[in-house]
């Protein structure tokens, strides 16, 4: 019975890891992908605009 108690924790951790990976894969894309991409693009544009403004103001 020692082998059962030795194998249970790795099997449980593997099951949780597989479940986590499946959730991550399922949540990629879908209806929210366009909204998330737009939010990232807007944040990058703001950061790029701020860096250009600060570089332009120093000259």
pLDDT digits (tens, 9 = 90+) for 10-54: 999 999 999 999 998 888 877 777 888 889 999 999 998 888 877
pLDDT computed for residue 27 by the predictor: 81
Q: Is 31 helix (H, G, I), strand (E, B) or coil?
A: coil
pLDDT computed for residue 30 by the predictor: 73
d(CA 17, CA 36): 25
d(CA 45, CA 51): 10
> Which has the closest alpha carbon to 8: 21, 16, 22?
16
pLDDT computed for residue 29 by the predictor: 73
CA angle 44, 29, 13 (to 5 degrees): 105
In the block, tokens 């894309």 appear at: 29
pLDDT computed for residue 57 by the predictor: 54
In the block, tokens 């479940």 appear at: 19
């Amino acid at each position: 019975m020692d082998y059962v108690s030795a194998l249970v924790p790795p099997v449980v951790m593997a099951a949780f890891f597989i479940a986590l990976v499946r959730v991550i894969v399922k949540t990629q894309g879908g209806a929210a992908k366009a909204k998330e991409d737009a939010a990232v693009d807007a944040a990058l544009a703001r950061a790029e605009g701020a860096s250009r403004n600060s570089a332009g103001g120093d000259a």
